[in-house]
Amino acid sequence: PPTDCPQTDWPPTLPVDNTDSRSFKLLLWHEGFPVAEHGNDPLVFETYTARMIDFASKWKIQRLLLQVFNPDSPYHEAYSVYSAMSVAKNFVEPALAVNVSVGFVGYIRQKDTGWDRAHPLRALASYIQAVEEAVETRTSSTECKVCSVSFDHEDLGEMAKTLDDEVVQLKASGLLKEDVDVGFAGGVNGLSTGPSDDPHVKERFPELYWFGELMPHHHKVGTTDCKLDCVYEAPCFSEPCVQTPYRSHVNKPQEMVDTLVDYFKIAGVSKYLARSARDKVHRIWGMFSLEHLKGCCPERQFGPQDSCGTFDGFALWDRDLFLEMLQIFASQHGFDHQTQMPIALYEWQFVPPHWSDPRLPATPVLAQGVADASHVPGKCIP
């Protein structure tokens, strides 16, 4: 790990207050346990998952996802930490013990996790069964142990067209339990999902970032300008990746909500945010990003990358003011503590230390400009 971000240097998570009155419920997405370095190191895996679960529990996150690798894949070496027994013992059981439900994330192409590339859902369904059989925590016969499996829509590619049919077939065969929800992350247009859109793929994770707020010039005219748009690869790493709306409205919840709503209107999806616009078939988890360009995060502590994202996002915020922003956002769109807005956070790898212990300052994650954004993949400053 980097010397300025050691694995041992992470504060215990302090509980979040006033969770009973929330107008939103949370899911924490996950990608990227460093299998190349620690795929056969049970102590690192146990430490890593324990921190995730502690954070989810103290934040009262409803569901925690874990990106899973096929432990017996022909496409890569064996990773023992992802055996069914290891995942049951180190992830599923301890999460259920603190009332956090769990799900899995699987990749099959660009971010390959070793699953059968022709039938990834079938392979993951078998894996879920093996993990559930290894779980010793007692649950009722009607209660899921692993409650979901999610993909990235871009990663699925052409397979996305047949995913709904495969869900039907696997549930009819009993290989995939009825209480396991299948879903995928994708662009902001996922907010407009209607009841007839792949009705058996129950969950959507529309990304409420990179929808125009980071590249307003590109969104308007179709070309990219390094001085006006966030560009984080050659030919430039640009200042707009640092000077984002998340920074200009940092710790100002109502201003941030108003700004986001304006961008959603420009993107043509604002009406789909309302509670009244949601169908009864799908669960839409609007997903906000916690990325940041400086400071510490699990990604830098454990790997595989020495970065916490590609732009300055919500990780710059104080913990409680970020949660206040979510409360305003959900309430403003018609949700309340009885019917909560599903909100996903992208992702555990980018969580900053001051979101575990709010007594810590946010200063370490605040890059002052391009030259100070010290942990960016593919950084190229002209």
CB-based contacts of 161, cutoff 8 Å, min separation 6? none
So what's the pLDDT on residue 115?
A: 92
Instruction: Answer with the residue of higher pLDDT: 6 or 21.
Output: 21
pLDDT of 168 > 90? The answer is yes
* pLDDT band, residue 112 (cuts 50/70/90): confident
CA dihedral 116, 118, 119, 120 (to 10 degrees): 50
- Among residues 20, 51, 17, 21, the alpha carbon closest in space to that of 349 is found at 51
182 exposure class (CB count in 10 Å sphere: 0-12, 13-18, 19+): buried
Share above pLDDT 70 across residues of the chain, in percent, rounded to a whole number: 95
251 exposure class (CB count in 10 Å sphere: 0-12, 13-18, 19+): middle
So what's the pLDDT on residue 74?
A: 87
Token readout for 321 is 């003011």
Token readout for 167 is 């869900």
So what's the pLDDT on residue 380?
A: 42
So what's the pLDDT on residue 142?
A: 55
Q: How far apart are CA 74 and CA 382, in angstroms?
A: 42
Token readout for 344 is 């996903």
So what's the pLDDT on residue 382?
A: 38
Residue 122 phi, psi dihedral angles, 5° rounding: -60, -45
Amino acid of residue 351: V
So what's the pLDDT on residue 263?
A: 95
- For the chain, the average pLDDT equals 92
- pLDDT tens figures, 218-240: 988 989 898 999 988 766 788 99
Greatest CA separation found in the chain?
A: 60
- pLDDT tens figures, 33-76: 999 899 999 999 999 999 999 999 999 999 999 999 999 888 88
In this prediction, residues 26-39 reach a mean pLDDT of: 94
- pLDDT tens figures, 69-86: 999 888 888 899 999 999
Measure CA 47 to chain center.
Answer: 20
Question: Which residues, listed in sequence order, are joined to residue 342 by a DSSP beta bridge?
Answer: 25
- Among residues 305, 65, 12, 370, the alpha carbon closest in space to that of 203 is found at 65
* pLDDT band, residue 378 (cuts 50/70/90): low
Q: How far apart are CA 380 and CA 361, in angstroms?
A: 29
